[in-house]
Amino acid sequence: MGPEYGDGTRVVHTVSAGAGEPFLAGPVFASAYHLGGENTYGRSHNPTWRALEAALGSLDGGEAVLFPSGMAAISTFLRVVLRPGDTVVLPSDGYYLTRDLVAELPVTVVEAPTTGPYPSFDGVRLVLLESPSNPGLDVCDIAALAAAAHEAGALLAVDNTTATPLGQRPLELGADAVVSSDTKAVAGHSDVLLGHVSTVDHALAEEVRAARTVGGAIPGPFEAWLAHRGLGTLDLRLTRQAENAAALHAALTGRPEVTGLRWPGAPEDPAHAVAAKQMRRFGGVLTFVLRDAAAVAAFLERSRLVAASTSFGGLHTTLDRRAQWGDPVPEGLVRLSAGCEDTADLVADVLASL
Catalytic residue among 7, 60, 141, 159: 159
Nearest to 188, CA basis, from 226, 160, 218: 226
**β partners of residue 259:** 289
Give, to the nearest 10 degrees, the angle between helix 343-353 and helix 293-302: 130
Helix H or strand E encompassing 7: helix 7-12
Catalytic residue among 7, 93, 95, 125: 95
Catalytic residue among 184, 229, 240, 335: 184
- Active-site residue 345, yes or no? no
DSSP track, 243-282: HHHHHHHHHHTT-TT-EEEE-TTSTTSTTHHHHHHH-S--
What number of other Cβ atoms are within 10 A of residue 153's Cβ?
11
Catalytic residue among 43, 79, 99, 291: 43
- Active-site residue 95, yes or no? yes
186, burial (CB in 10 Å: exposed 0-12, middle 13-18, buried 19+) = buried
How far apart CA 270 and CA 328 sit, in angstroms, is 20
How far apart CA 93 and CA 132 sit, in angstroms, is 10
- Active-site residue 43, yes or no? yes
Nearest to 194, CA basis, from 89, 18, 48, 38: 48
Residues 200 and 171 sit within 8 Å (Cβ to Cβ): yes
DSSP track, 293-321: HHHHHHHHHH-SS-EE-S--SSSS-EEEE
Q: How far is CA 295 from CA 245, 312, 325, in A?
A: 21, 21, 17
254, burial (CB in 10 Å: exposed 0-12, middle 13-18, buried 19+) = exposed
Chain-centre distance of CA 42, in angstroms?
27
How far apart CA 302 and CA 4 sit, in angstroms, is 46
Nearest to 70, CA basis, from 7, 156, 160: 160
- Active-site residue 79, yes or no? no
For the chain, first and last CA: distance in Å? 45
Catalytic positions are 43, 95, 159, 184
